[in-house]
Amino acid sequence: MPAASEPRPLPSGNLATGSPPPAIGPFDADTARQHQRAWAEYLGVELEVTNSIGIKLAFIPSGEFQMGSPDSDPDASDLEKPQHTVRITKPFYLGVIEVTQEQYERVMETNPSNFKGAQLPVERVSWEDAVEFCRKLSGLPAERSAGRMYRLPTEAEWEYACRAGSKTKWSFGDSESSLGDYAWWSGNSARQTHPVGQKKPNAWGLYDMQGNVREWCSDWLVLAYYRSSPTDDPQGPATGSFRVHRGGSWGDGAGYCRSAYRSGLAPSNRRGSLGFRLALSSVD
């Protein structure tokens, strides 16, 4: 299990001398695994951690990607433009699956979900609920002892993790016909959520990044910030009215499940199509 000071953040300007090469797509699952192993070995951390309530998180290495959609994409909204370069200089961990109802209830002692089931993703959670879950989980004795501080991913981290080396509309390519292999969406969900981790993972080994439930991110949704976003590790604007959510859901068409699709809601909003997954920060 990584110590409290790991994974170590890298400098924001240039990657540390002697570090492995950043993960820059396009690449396949085998190459993704090579990047993960090289960076984990360099930093002296595990490829996957499992915390005290059974949540597994995968190590996501440093890299670079094109965030958003090109102007030529007819499915893209103005919220996804312009497409721009983003560098993730600080490796992080991200939940292999969306937070389940069983996991949520263990921490929060309540289950607000519309569709009930221990292994279904928790939904009808607000952004505020998700942040409180992160705070309470981080405060559990075993998590404090291990130095783990949980949070929601930034939307840059989320899209980088979702794309997993791809430059296409979805992590698996540009053909909607393959979406059902990777996601629960309006074309196959029977209008409900499904147990997490049943579909194919992306190249980083993450499940349900596209479909099942949309996922809260930490950022405020402000278009002016997005259009002038920092290249290195954008954290989102300081203020706003709506928080970003990503990923598409069981009730969404294929276009809403694209890697670049982004939208937002008030942080107090709760919907049966909206949940979250955990990110794990380093602690200096």
Question: Model pTM?
Answer: 0.93
Contacts of 214 (CB under 8 A, 6+ apart): 245, 246, 247, 248, 249, 252, 263, 271, 273, 274, 275
CATH code of 264's domain = 3.90.1580.10
Is 1 within the bounds of a domain?
no
In the block, tokens 């996601």 appear at 183
Residue-level pLDDT at 281: 79
Is 5 within the bounds of a domain?
no
Residue-level pLDDT at 17: 60
Is 229 within the bounds of a domain?
yes
Q: What is the mean pLDDT of the chain?
A: 93
Please, which residues bridge with residue 66 across strands?
85
Which segments of the chain have a pLDDT < 50?
A: 1-14, 283-284
Full domain range(s) for residue 232: 23-281
Residue-level pLDDT at 74: 87
Is 168 within the bounds of a domain?
yes
State how many domains the chain has: 1
Is 194 within the bounds of a domain?
yes
| 3-class SS of residue 86 | strand
Residue-level pLDDT at 75: 85
Burial of 33 (0-12, 13-18, 19+ CB in 10 A): middle
**Kind plus residue range of the DSSP H or E element containing 42:** helix 29-43
Q: Which amino acid is at 268?
A: S
In which order are the strands placed within the sheet that holds 84-88? 23-24, 63-67, 84-88
Is 142 within the bounds of a domain?
yes
Is 35 within the bounds of a domain?
yes
Between the alpha carbon of residue 58 and those of residues 34, 95, 142, 157, 209, the distances in Å are 14, 6, 19, 13, 13
In which order are the strands placed within the sheet that holds 48-50? 48-50, 56-60, 92-95, 279-281, 149-151
Residue-level pLDDT at 136: 98
> What pairing do the DSSP bridges indicate for beta strands 63-67 and 23-24?
parallel
DSSP letter at 205 equals: S
Model confidence pLDDT, tens digit, residues 3-51: 333 334 433 333 556 889 999 999 999 999 999 999 999 999 999 999 9
Is 221 within the bounds of a domain?
yes
Name the token pair of 237: 């604007």
Residue-level pLDDT at 282: 58
